[in-house]
Structure 1
């Protein structure tokens, strides 16, 4: 038996080339046959495993597909009309706050202005200060909402309706208070004598 010096495979004595790798087993000058002339591997000889295809290394980052990108609304973020908030507060104190989504705050500001206006001077000056504050607050809140500094709150027509119902109730209540004060004053002057004493002159 001849042992192939290249792959160590045992071959017949008469073989001139290795039956496994095709290496020349005879004279060194004899050229080795090409791949097509190589003899089939001997029975029982180990069959080389096929080479696995090279797999390119995976990229570290995979660009996101357009479908995975977050959708942006076509109209963009909702915005408050700053002019609407100011005009509403000028016409009806507290309505600008209701437009900005703060119904209770708007009703309380309207109530405060009404109560401060009842006694007259000098409390009516405080009512004027609160009135100016309602205008500034409506403008400031709408601006902050548009900038995203505070959460956006949309108004509802139900809130507008409730504001006017509350405003009418407050106005009626204020009118009743003024009427009661006027009647009390009339009663006082009616029963007060010339001495200025309701119980008469001493």
Structure 2
């Protein structure tokens, strides 16, 4: 919270500049001395509600726009998950409302058994060829193709040919649970 408070003065200055107002003009509107406003903008004076309320009223902004929390680190740092014939790289933070993964399916010698579970899956093939067995359908998707399906329909996914298939997959919560957790979890 201390870091956010340090940004109040510079944010007031930036808004004042965007409106083309001088320090003296805004100070007069907010009924404070130009030196008080100058010290507030430079961080030499602590922000108080008594000072901020008249300023926000004249600047046309809410208090929350002056005390915006700092932006968290956007990088996703989660371990890769390895399964029988594929590697799952999480692309979204744990608990994210959207669950996106880059999955690399390795070629297989034997066709995997079709599975059924609660959930929904959306996928996009980045490279290689992906075979999707979905119910009685047998489909091969190539680079640039996408698919969407209800995972309560029996299905299996694996690479076709000698190269791996890389896929972007988006799951709902049920789909994430089945693909990223082991039987012991």
| Range into which the TM-score falls when normalised by the shorter chain | under 0.3
Bigger helix fraction: 1
RCO greater where, 1 or 2, for CA within 8 Å and sep 6 or more?
A: 2
State the structure with more CA Rg. Answer: 1
TM-score, structure 1 as length reference: 0.20
TM-score, structure 2 as length reference: 0.21
